[in-house]
């Protein structure tokens, strides 16, 4: 056990605890809000109050009157259970978080939910709570800042120039994702990333020394970080350490702050009892006495508010940046306009025209290629007009086909547009969330579909925060063949389709692949998963009307011959089976359904025109888990797909073995129509 990292000796305070009214305002608000809600985590806010007071009052560059100022420093509370720390800071410094909002902590539809949530509370940069993902988001913020600065700053005019600060705790460091992203942060030399580790030695189960004995300092030094240890209750030491971290431009910095959880609670400080439960009314009275806090619950004096108020300083900082940007804009008007466009999230004016021209070209060429290759072709066509694209793959670029001709790695050129993430699926995806949240980029990240499982919770966070992140997944089914069941995705597509606010596309050919990319890039209210094949997929001929309907997520690809008796619904590689079955059947239409979610968003009239409710004989075919499709075919329909894990064999043999064949589709239709 490294006692220097996790010992519980009490730091020397200077000044005494009861003479720290500014930090104690955080402690009082945290105690009171958690007690009123009868739920929450008072320990971390009380333990980190001194660190927070130094950072937010003395160092952080932000403007409470304009939380979206583009050159603000970013702050991430990775240990998001301590959310009252962030809410107290936002309230005290002058953001639109009132004392009434604080009183509504953890209540329905309040601005102060249980964990910080992006979009609910002004000043909250990202949703945190799932431990480790906050620091991953922070690494993404730092990548975005460094890359955007390299692309736009000119001649000493640093229009992109800010730090990313992150608070994190023992839980964040125990989560494996912290290894993934902190290792990469050191490799990428993210000098403007500064993390404060709340080294209090306590988690929910008690003292962490029984299950967390890492030498954190050596761990981060081995990553290539600049590491400083300080007394987390010594304001002078915290400030000096932060300034030293700012001065280290070639390495990210970790400031290990030895703290006491729940500091100020005489009977519960330094113990797990202060971690995740209210202190209790009696203990709060004792804590008030310990802190020298004489005001009633939720009462902050005018003197303390005045000392905390950051609006005037923030306005001055933004005004200075505005003057720098004015000079920049006069010297580099095209660059300035491009930076504004990218930060607004707006695509280039000619994007629609060029994307449509490429889709039409795909339709004319009629190529039979793997949809992963169709994806690369789309990137190669659209990438040159989208400098905001910041791509990457988890060590599978040659298999995912994510590197197009214009890609350049940021590890070689800070102004590049591609990140080699290494084998870090979870870290990659959470970093992409941070990149998207920062602004100025549209990140796309890639791996095999089966390894989406490693990244699952970060994909969920993309959807929860409604971020424009494009998740590229190749090797989409048993069609990848001999690698066997460990690499053959079965249930992953259904899992992704079940994620609220996520659009999934599984295209059948080059045209559907191009349309899927176009809509993913245009979508600004959520992420998209693009599912591509390893094997070649035959091109499907379409009319002009059908070509337009692809964007609706589902459309009639092959009309029925004669009276409509049955409908075959398919996606991706199984469209070929459906079309072969269609050639053998009368009265059957084929519906291509590359995106179920987008199809469901269409009008009732359109959905009825594609899937007439009177036609009950329906067969769905997809080389994935069958359960999802009952919502479209009904309990009387048939679903041809996977009901087990796969096997190791050539793809053709596997399709035969699992009964995903043209004949199976024909037989299912004949059985239904009798």
Residues 491 and 372 reside in one and the same domain: yes
Q: What is the pLDDT of residue 9?
A: 45
417 among the known binding-site residues?
no
Range of the domain at 652: 553-673
What is the C-alpha to C-alpha distance for residues 491 and 500, in angstroms, rounded to an integer?
17
pLDDT over 90, % of the chain: 98
How confident is the model over 69-77, as a mean pLDDT? 98
How confident is the model over 215-223, as a mean pLDDT? 98
Average pLDDT of every residue of the chain:
97
Residues 579 and 485 reside in one and the same domain: no
Give the model's confidence band at 7: pLDDT under 50 very low, under 70 low, under 90 confident, else very high: very low
How confident is the model over 397-409, as a mean pLDDT? 97
What is the C-alpha to C-alpha distance for residues 472 and 462, in angstroms, rounded to an integer?
13
334 is an active site residue: no
Give the model's confidence band at 169: pLDDT under 50 very low, under 70 low, under 90 confident, else very high: very high
Q: Angle, to 10 degrees, between the axis of helix 333-344 and the axis of helix 311-331?
A: 130
483 among the known binding-site residues?
yes
Distance of CA 229 to the CA centre of its chain: 30
Give the model's confidence band at 674: pLDDT under 50 very low, under 70 low, under 90 confident, else very high: confident
Q: Is residue 544 part of a domain?
A: no
Q: What is the pLDDT of residue 14?
A: 76
Residue 8 has pLDDT above 80, yes or no: no
129 among the known binding-site residues?
yes
What is the C-alpha to C-alpha distance for residues 335 and 152, in angstroms, rounded to an integer?
7
Residues in a beta bridge with 419: 392
275 among the known binding-site residues?
yes
Residues 557 and 525 reside in one and the same domain: no
**Are residues 238 and 171 in contact, defined by beta-carbon separation less than 8 angstroms?**
no
What is the C-alpha to C-alpha distance for residues 598 and 614, in angstroms, rounded to an integer?
22
Residues 590 and 668 reside in one and the same domain: yes
Please state, in angstroms and as integers, the Cα–Cα distance from residue 406 to each residue in 387, 419, 440, following that order: 10, 13, 18
200 among the known binding-site residues?
yes
Q: Is residue 28 part of a domain?
A: no
131 among the known binding-site residues?
yes
Per this entry, what is the length of the chain?
674
Q: Is residue 188 part of a domain?
A: yes
The CATH code of the domain that includes 643 is 3.40.50.920
497 among the known binding-site residues?
no
The CATH code of the domain that includes 220 is 3.40.50.970
Q: Is residue 321 part of a domain?
A: no
Residues 402 and 485 reside in one and the same domain: yes
Q: What is the pLDDT of residue 4?
A: 35
3-class SS letters over 285-340 = HHHHHHHCCCCCCCCCCHHHHHHHCCHHHHHHHHHHHHHHHHHHHHHCHHHHHHHH
438 among the known binding-site residues?
no
Q: Is residue 506 part of a domain?
A: yes
Burial class (CB in 10 A: 0-12, 13-18, 19+), 100: exposed
Please say which residue of 497, 513, 537 terminates a domain: 537
Residues 6+ apart with CB under 8 A from 74: 125, 138, 141, 145, 162, 163, 164, 165, 438
**Are residues 143 and 113 in contact, defined by beta-carbon separation less than 8 angstroms?**
no
Residues 441 and 297 reside in one and the same domain: no
Residues 6+ apart with CB under 8 A from 450: 475, 486, 487, 488, 489, 492
What is the C-alpha to C-alpha distance for residues 648 and 486, in angstroms, rounded to an integer?
9
Burial profile 268-286: b = 16 or more Cβ within 10 angstroms, e = fewer: bbbbbbbbbbbbbeebbeb
Kindly state the DSSP code that residue 120 receives in the 8-state scheme: T
Sheet with strand 418-420: strands edge to edge: 418-420, 389-393, 442-448, 470-474, 528-531, 503-505
| Structure tokens that stand for 577 in this block | 């089976």
Residues 292 and 421 reside in one and the same domain: no
**Are residues 557 and 610 in contact, defined by beta-carbon separation less than 8 angstroms?**
no
Please state, in angstroms and as integers, the Cα–Cα distance from residue 34 to each residue in 105, 268, 277, 318, 615, following that order: 7, 15, 8, 34, 56
Kindly state the DSSP code that residue 4 receives in the 8-state scheme: H
Residues 264 and 382 reside in one and the same domain: no
Please say which residue of 537, 570, 602 terminates a domain: 537
451 among the known binding-site residues?
yes
Q: What is the pLDDT of residue 426?
A: 98
**Are residues 187 and 427 in contact, defined by beta-carbon separation less than 8 angstroms?**
no
What is the C-alpha to C-alpha distance for residues 442 and 385, in angstroms, rounded to an integer?
13
Residue 167 phi, psi dihedral angles, 5° rounding = -95, 135
Closest Cα to residue 534, out of 455, 449, 591, 592? Answer: 449
Catalytic choice (425, 574, 597, 622): 425
Q: What is the pLDDT of residue 6?
A: 40
What is the C-alpha to C-alpha distance for residues 501 and 138, in angstroms, rounded to an integer?
23
Residues 6+ apart with CB under 8 A from 304: 21, 22, 25, 92
What is the C-alpha to C-alpha distance for residues 126 and 21, in angstroms, rounded to an integer?
29
Q: Is residue 437 part of a domain?
A: yes
236 among the known binding-site residues?
no
Burial class (CB in 10 A: 0-12, 13-18, 19+), 320: exposed
Q: Is residue 612 part of a domain?
A: yes
How confident is the model over 572-582, as a mean pLDDT? 98
**DSSP symbols for 554-600:** -EEEE--SSS--EEEEE-GGGHHHHHHHHHT-SSEEEEE-S-HHHHH
What is the C-alpha to C-alpha distance for residues 105 and 509, in angstroms, rounded to an integer?
50
Residue 138 has pLDDT above 50, yes or no: yes
pLDDT, tens digit (0-9, with 9 covering 90-100), for 604-648: 999 999 999 999 999 999 999 999 999 999 999 999 999 999 999
322 among the known binding-site residues?
no
Positive or negative: CA dihedral 551, 503, 573, 474: positive
130 among the known binding-site residues?
yes
Q: 366 vs 13, which has greater pLDDT?
A: 366
503 among the known binding-site residues?
no
Please state the domain count of the chain. Answer: 3
Please say which residue of 288, 315, 342 terminates a domain: 315
Q: Is residue 192 part of a domain?
A: yes
Residues 474 and 394 reside in one and the same domain: yes
**Are residues 27 and 45 in contact, defined by beta-carbon separation less than 8 angstroms?**
yes
What is the C-alpha to C-alpha distance for residues 417 and 151, in angstroms, rounded to an integer?
10
């Amino acid at each position: 056990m490294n006692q220097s990292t996790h010992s519980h000796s009490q730091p020397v305070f200077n000044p005494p605890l009861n003479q720290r009214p500014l930090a104690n305002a955080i402690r009082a608000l945290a105690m009171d809000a958690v007690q009123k809600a009868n739920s929450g985590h008072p320990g971390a806010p009380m333990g980190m109050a001194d660190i927070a007071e130094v950072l937010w009052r003395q160092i952080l560059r932000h403007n409470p009157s304009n939380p979206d100022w583009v050159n603000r420093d970013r702050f991430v509370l990775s240990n998001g259970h301590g959310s009252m720390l962030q809410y107290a800071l936002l309230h005290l410094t002058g953001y639109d978080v009132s004392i009434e909002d604080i009183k509504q902590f953890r209540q329905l539809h309040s601005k102060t939910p249980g964990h910080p949530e992006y979009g609910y509370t002004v000043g909250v940069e990202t949703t945190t709570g799932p431990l480790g993902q906050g620091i991953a988001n922070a690494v993404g913020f730092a990548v975005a800042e460094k890359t955007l600065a390299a692309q736009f700053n000119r001649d000493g005019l640093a229009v992109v120039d800010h730090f990313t600060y992150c608070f994190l705790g023992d839980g964040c460091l125990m989560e494996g994702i912290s290894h993934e992203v902190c290792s990469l942060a050191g490799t990428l030399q993210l000098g403007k990333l500064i993390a404060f580790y709340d080294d209090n030695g306590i988690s929910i189960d008690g003292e962490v020394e029984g299950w967390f004995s890492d030498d954190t300092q050596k761990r981060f030094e081995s990553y290539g970080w600049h590491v400083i240890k300080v007394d987390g209750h010594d304001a002078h030491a915290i400030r000096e350490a932060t300034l030293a971290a700012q001065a280290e431009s070639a390495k990210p910095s970790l400031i290990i702050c030895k703290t006491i959880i729940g500091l100020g609670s005489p009977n519960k400080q330094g113990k797990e009892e202060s971690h995740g439960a209210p202190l209790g009314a009696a203990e709060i009275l004792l804590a008030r006495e310990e802190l020298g806090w004489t005001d009633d619950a939720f009462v902050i004096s005018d003197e303390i508010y005045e000392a905390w108020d950051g609006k005037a300083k923030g306005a001055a900082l933004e005004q200075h940046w505005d003057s720098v940007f004015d000079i920049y804009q006069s010297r580099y008007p095209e660059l300035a306009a491009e930076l504004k466009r990218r930060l607004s999230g707006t695509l280039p004016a000619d994007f629609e025209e060029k994307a449509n021209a490429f889709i039409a070209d795909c339709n004319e060429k009629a190529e039979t290629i793997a949809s992963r290759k169709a994806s690369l072709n789309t990137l190669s066509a659209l990438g040159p007009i989208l400098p905001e694209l910041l791509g990457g793959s988890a060590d599978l670029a040659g298999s995912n086909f994510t590197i197009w001709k214009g890609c350049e790695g940021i590890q070689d050129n800070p102004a590049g547009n591609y990140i080699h993430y290494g084998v870090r699926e979870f870290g990659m995806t959470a970093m992409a969330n941070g990149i998207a949240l920062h602004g100025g980029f549209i990140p796309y990240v890639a791996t095999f579909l089966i390894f989406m499982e490693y990244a699952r919770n970060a994909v969920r966070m993309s959807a929860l925060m409604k971020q424009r992140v494009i998740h590229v997944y190749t090797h989409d089914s048993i069609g990848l063949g001999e690698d066997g069941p460990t690499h053959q995705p079965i249930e992953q597509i259904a899992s992704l389709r079940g994620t609220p606010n996520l659009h999934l596309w599984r295209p059948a050919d080059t045209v559907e692949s191009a349309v899927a990319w176009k809509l993913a890039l245009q979508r600004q209210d959520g992420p998209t998963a693009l599912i591509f094949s390893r094997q070649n997929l035959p091109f499907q001929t379409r009319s002009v009307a059908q070509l337009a309907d692809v964007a609706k997520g589902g459309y009639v690809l092959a009309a029925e011959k004669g009276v409509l008796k049955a409908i075959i619904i398919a996606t991706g590689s199984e469209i070929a089976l459906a079309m072969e079955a269609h050639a053998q059947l009368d009265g059957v239409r084929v519906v291509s359904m590359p995106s179920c979610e987008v199809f469901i968003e269409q009008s009732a009239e359109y959905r009825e025109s594609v899937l007439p409710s009177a036609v009950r004989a329906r067969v769905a075919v997809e080389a994935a888990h069958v359960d999802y499709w009952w919502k479209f075919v009904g309990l009387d329909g048939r679903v041809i797909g996977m009901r087990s894990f796969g096997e190791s064999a050539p793809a053709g043999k596997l399709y035969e073995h699992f009964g995903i064949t043209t004949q199976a589709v024909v037989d299912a239709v004949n059985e239904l129509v009798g």
